[in-house]
Structure 1
Amino acid sequence: MHRLGLIRRFTAAVAATTAFIVVFAGHATAEPTTFDWNAATQQLRKAAIGNPGAEQAVARLLASGQVATRVALPAQPFQIPAQSDIGRGDGPGVYGSGVALGYDGFRFGFFGGPGAIAPNQAGARLEVLWVNLSNGRSGTEVISEHNDATVDTTIRTRPLDTGAGVIVGAVYGTLLHRWPVPVSDANPDGFQYKLATISIPSFGSVYN
């Protein structure tokens, strides 16, 4: 009963978030908001100092030449998707995207990729580097919360106190996916697993 209740609450949260998106869709189209890309990435570089993984991720993002020019509104998917060694099909390529979620407090997350996100992320480590351009707060957070339910298509951070304002974030690291296959000695639980490594981070600017 507890598991069913959790799924129902999550489904209701997703539905509420979707309704929120519909309400703001017209506003987002009519009045797109821009921001200073160079200033935002320089803030990310400062926030990454001392964290080798974050420093390398920002360097790869800058070297890619991709530019985000609009601030996303709810449900706030990142404007630049991630690139990965496995992509969405065979071989490397476009992989998935970061996202900002607000159904139970502000969180960063990630969605997309092959198959579904594995509920057990042992051996993987997905992170987000973020900076609030409005108040100067910054941090790095592990993205690890995911429910083993078909309605849960994202993996998320814990709720974060970023403060209000415009926030830029870059999602980097590794993420474990799975998809159903026939049960066998090689796949005793009926799933095949694949570890994806992000080569170019997903980058975006969002509101809180």
Structure 2
Amino acid sequence: MQRLRLTRRFSTALAATAALAVVFAGPATAGPATDSGTVDWADATQKLRAAAAGNPAAELAVDQLAASGRMPAANQVALPAQPFQIPANSDIGRGDGPGVYGSGIALGIDGFRFGFFGGPGTIAPNQAGAKLEVLWINLSNGRSGTEVLYEHNDVPVDTTIRTRALDTGGGLIVAAVYGSLWHRWSVPVSDANPDGFQYQKGTISQPSFGAVYN
């Protein structure tokens, strides 16, 4: 099984951020030039929980996050192309059992998008039977929503799966990525693996959470 370390995958994801400009053939959206400080994550989590009201899957995801004990009192806000400050855990981890799985990421290419990278192998092009989502709220203007992460190009440079471009407005956004995701890696062709790939679905047990400026 192909097992890639989270740090290696993040380095690849950063490289892919620039390469995706070619894939998308769209204009880049610039982030703020300077660091704008910290965010009160306890307060941000409460607001995210309010935004989840009426969506059982999103409510459960935020409740899992709040119960994790991994929320610091405050932390630096990220810029697009930086991973979320808290990575996700899942039932398969990076392919060797439950544990750290991957991270959400905000991308400022061809509009503002949320993405995710991590897990074993690569992201499978067919996500039937899996559903990865992001719950977000813009603390600066009150906009919020949930989105499915579904855009992925089956090429080596694309290490993320992403939402459509979102009109979140500018400001401070907090978000949590939750759900499930199919992965695959190369194996010898056989009756069990006629296409030369083995597949595994990861189900997130603790969401990836982040605060980012758009």
TM-score relative to the length of structure 2: 0.84
Name the CA distance, whole Å, in 2 between partners of 1:71 and 1:162.
16
Residue 129 of structure 1 is matched in structure 2 by 135
Residue 4 of structure 1 is matched in structure 2 by none
Residue 91 of structure 2 is matched in structure 1 by 85
Tell whether the 8 Å contact from 1:131 to 1:167 is kept in structure 2 after alignment. yes
Q: Are positions 1:167 and 2:173 aligned together?
A: yes
SS at match of 2:104: strand
Name the CA distance, whole Å, in 2 between partners of 1:92 and 1:67.
20
Gaps of 5+ in 1: 1-7
Q: Are positions 1:103 and 2:103 aligned together?
A: no
Distance 1:79 1:171, change over 3 A: same
Given residue 190 of structure 1, which amino acid in structure 2 is its aligned partner?
G
SS at match of 1:35: strand
Name the CA distance, whole Å, in 2 between partners of 1:76 and 1:134.
20
Distance 1:179 1:140, change over 3 A: same
Name the CA distance, whole Å, in 2 between partners of 1:105 and 1:189.
35
Q: Are positions 1:65 and 2:76 aligned together?
A: no
Name the CA distance, whole Å, in 1 between partners of 2:107 and 2:20.
12
SS at match of 1:73: coil
Tell whether the 8 Å contact from 1:11 to 1:151 is kept in structure 2 after alignment. no
1:52 pairs with 56, 68, 72, which one?
56
Residue 20 of structure 2 is matched in structure 1 by 10
Listed one character per residue, the Cα deviations across residues 1-46 of structure 1 (whole Å, up to 9, x for unaligned) are xxxxxxx9736369x99xx89x96xx5xxx5620111221111111
Listed one character per residue, the Cα deviations across residues 135-193 of structure 1 (whole Å, up to 9, x for unaligned) are 00000000011001000000000000000000000000000000000011111100000
SS at match of 1:74: coil
Deviation at 1:112, TM superposition (A): 1.1
1:202 pairs with 194, 208, 213, which one?
208
Aligned alpha-carbon RMSD (Å): 2.4
Name the CA distance, whole Å, in 1 between partners of 2:210 and 2:19.
28
Name the CA distance, whole Å, in 1 between partners of 2:139 and 2:36.
18
Identity across the alignment (%): 71
Aligned residues: 193
Distance 1:132 1:11, change over 3 A: closer
Listed one character per residue, the Cα deviations across residues 52-80 of structure 1 (whole Å, up to 9, x for unaligned) are 10010000000001125111023131000
Given residue 101 of structure 1, which amino acid in structure 2 is its aligned partner?
L
Residue 3 of structure 1 is matched in structure 2 by none
Tell whether the 8 Å contact from 1:83 to 1:96 is kept in structure 2 after alignment. yes
Given residue 122 of structure 1, which amino acid in structure 2 is its aligned partner?
A
Given residue 55 of structure 2, which amino acid in structure 1 is its aligned partner?
N
TM-score relative to the length of structure 1: 0.86
Between 101-110 and 72-81, the greater mean CA deviation after superposition: 72-81
Given residue 83 of structure 2, which amino acid in structure 1 is its aligned partner?
P
SS at match of 1:76: coil
